[in-house]
Structure 1
């Protein structure tokens, strides 16, 4: 694709001798940024530094027992819980150049548990031409990012949490890849302060077994509510009520799970709903989503929006148009059907853009492109429209980067997956799909998901 030259492009690096790229976050998206950089010939005058607050990479796929704050008093970033299994087919997130068969040496079932997906993520990183860990500063929290207009660069302030030392560095480009599931949205309800049981956000949910024999109220009607309701029922909860604000999830729930309109108030352990009914509950889990918060970004650099498949103010879903002279990027912040492959092609586009592989458009043209995507997004009516929209988005990035276009064949798998969930929410994880890249059909797991309590790699892979 041919772009018109941007007037300031030739002077972008006039105040720095090197192109220095700051990546914030080493979860799946940040890992893809590092993977793509390590595998391309960027040249000796290009340097990349990644700041990761956790002690290791992998982002939300790492499990910790901690909730609230970590060992350094920092807010816990990840909200992973025990016994989580993928809620989408692995064939929809499989890397084209590193398949699950490449990793495990054979085909494996379509819906892996968390340890399997983390192992796969880490396995691909070991295939890099250069060791990506050399670029990462672990246990390091970014405190502030500011754009310096006079120098046309960024000042990044960070703290090494181990030795409690704060430093500042200059970068020509910044890539924000901290994910979208780290700042819980916590609403309130009349009388909730009188509730006598436990109240927690899904971000702090760690083990469904904790709620065995209890009556649960889940507030929310999206993926967290769906999965936590199933998990708690599977692990012995007495019953689960999911309460919705806009519309119910509408699945054919297994016995023990039901949906009611939004809870209106609490009186001790009694919850009162919009339809006039009430129920006694032992615990409340807020499955109320997350906020887009980037407190470490300066005001004019800060993305402010709500969850959607295409947030406003971004060119090609990545380049921030609100400040920073077209050198600030937000990666992996879309509402997601595609995940690993979308992060991969998105960060490949970012790498190419930074390295000058595209001529630059004028701001008016980039805004026009971005606004057209936002307008199309506003017309989406359901999950199937969302899938088609995101498939088209990924396909466009593939065409701009020469990424394997077959990854967009996941479109039909996503539609099938949604139908499977509508048909039977309890058994959809028992379905089998064929790899887009090897055509091998996945085998069935040794047990149906509802009765599978061992989520180890050894049991799932069958080694």
Structure 2
């Protein structure tokens, strides 16, 4: 989470129903907080029911997970990083993979890129937009990271940003003059970048906002999730329970391997919370499990349903429906559907007069407390202090 990163969705869309922002901070705050505010909120949730640290072995890295088809258990080997030592394998009845999928960058290659004289990097390595002050940037991508990095670079003084992607349509935003869109990059010659429509641009730096690979090298082959970034990965019942194919005589975990947080995200914290609730209920034997054939048919139906979605708003509805399905199945006690807020957020970003740059200046109402968020003291594009103290202790006028 890089410096000066602010949430790109209303905090009211990711608020925990059983631990609200009002409860944590003791006051109403604007809808779009910076990273340190969200981290403080998460820390509060982690401590709200006891000290979780006692259940976590820090500085330990999982190196190999293998399923034993005879004992129906997992053998897990871990490295003690502090002592640089592989520990003896340990036996577990269940394995939950919840390490995310935004860590291993996808780095495309283009002719001439290796001779580009400026800096070439991935969004994964982006740390501070101030380093691009006065620079001309090419940002390759078509999703949230390219939106935010382009915005951040201009906010902190970049001369211009060209956004290049393989999408047939533009992103639909009213960008300021310093940000423009082009089709996909074709080749690089020196500092000149050429695009497939025949246009070109001279740039000082290239940032690839091209997403991440699902990378779980520590999982045995038949246990390893392989997918592109989608809103319902295949081979996961309820989007969670591993049902990948068996091979080479090996089992696939026999319903004891779960993946959490593997789908693409619109909902985030609340999605993870519902998934975790389902996983716990399942492991405790409190969820009625249907026949394997029915489970396979179920996940395939969800994948087919996803393939018919044709719009961003449709994806919000799809993920909301998936959450509702998991909630009903596991008895999750809260309704976390906030489609109306997402719809407002979606429209705010596409307003004329550069809505993509000003949507963070809007205000939303908490579904769980009814609190209307105050407006920020400063517009996002003029707010350069992203500290917890400034955001929480600022004098925020009430929203209208």
TM-score computed with the length of structure 2 as normaliser: 0.94
Shift of 1:413: 0.6
1-structure distance, mates of 2:200, 2:55: 55
For the aligned residue pairs, the C-alpha RMSD in angstroms reads 1.0
Asked if 1:156 is matched to 2:76, the reply is yes
Kept in 2: contact 1:399–1:405 (CA 8 A): no
After the TM superposition, which of the residue ranges 222-231 and 155-164 deviates more from structure 2? 155-164
Shift of 1:406: 2.7
Asked if 1:176 is matched to 2:176, the reply is no
Asked if 1:237 is matched to 2:158, the reply is yes
Give the equivalent residue in structure 2 for 1:418. 346
Shift of 1:149: 0.4
| Alignment partner of 1:136 out of 48, 53, 56 | 56
Shift of 1:285: 0.3
Structure 1 residue ranges (4+ consecutive) displaced by more than 4 angstroms after TM superposition: none
Kept in 1: contact 2:17–2:334 (CA 8 A): no
**Between Structure 1 and Structure 2, how many residues are aligned?**
382
Q: Which runs of 5+ in 1 are unaligned?
A: 1-79
| Alignment partner of 1:347 out of 276, 285, 288 | 276
| Alignment partner of 1:252 out of 174, 179, 199 | 174
Superposed, which structure 2 residues align to 1:36-75 within 5 Å?
none
| Alignment partner of 1:302 out of 224, 249, 255 | 224
1-structure distance, mates of 2:137, 2:155: 13
Kept in 2: contact 1:219–1:285 (CA 8 A): yes
Give the equivalent residue in structure 2 for 1:43. none
Asked if 1:370 is matched to 2:282, the reply is no
Kept in 2: contact 1:218–1:241 (CA 8 A): yes
2-structure distance, mates of 1:420, 1:371: 34
Kept in 2: contact 1:318–1:330 (CA 8 A): yes
Kept in 1: contact 2:214–2:227 (CA 8 A): yes
Shift of 1:263: 1.0
Shift of 1:141: 1.2
Shift of 1:362: 1.4
2:7 aligned counterpart, secondary structure: coil
2-structure distance, mates of 1:396, 1:193: 48
Kept in 1: contact 2:132–2:158 (CA 8 A): yes
Superposed, which structure 2 residues align to 1:35-434 within 5 Å?
80-128=1-49, 130-167=50-87, 168-247=89-168, 248-322=170-244, 323-408=252-337, 410-423=338-351, 424-434=355-365
1-structure distance, mates of 2:165, 2:374: 36
Kept in 2: contact 1:313–1:320 (CA 8 A): yes
2-structure distance, mates of 1:208, 1:260: 22
TM-score computed with the length of structure 1 as normaliser: 0.81
Shift of 1:404: 3.6
1-structure distance, mates of 2:299, 2:180: 40
CA displacement, residues 32-52 of structure 1 (integer Å, 9 cap, x when unaligned): xxxxxxxxxxxxxxxxxxxxx
Kept in 2: contact 1:421–1:428 (CA 8 A): yes
1:137 aligned counterpart, secondary structure: coil
2-structure distance, mates of 1:459, 1:400: 42
Shift of 1:183: 0.6
2:37 aligned counterpart, secondary structure: helix
Kept in 2: contact 1:192–1:265 (CA 8 A): yes
2-structure distance, mates of 1:200, 1:186: 9
Kept in 2: contact 1:96–1:404 (CA 8 A): no
Shift of 1:425: 0.2
Shift of 1:407: 1.2
Shift of 1:250: 2.5
After the TM superposition, which of the residue ranges 151-160 and 393-402 deviates more from structure 2? 393-402
Q: Which runs of 5+ in 2 are unaligned?
A: 245-251, 395-400
Give the equivalent residue in structure 1 for 2:368. 437
| Alignment partner of 1:446 out of 377, 391, 396 | 377
After the TM superposition, which of the residue ranges 359-368 and 169-178 deviates more from structure 2? 359-368
Shift of 1:195: 0.4
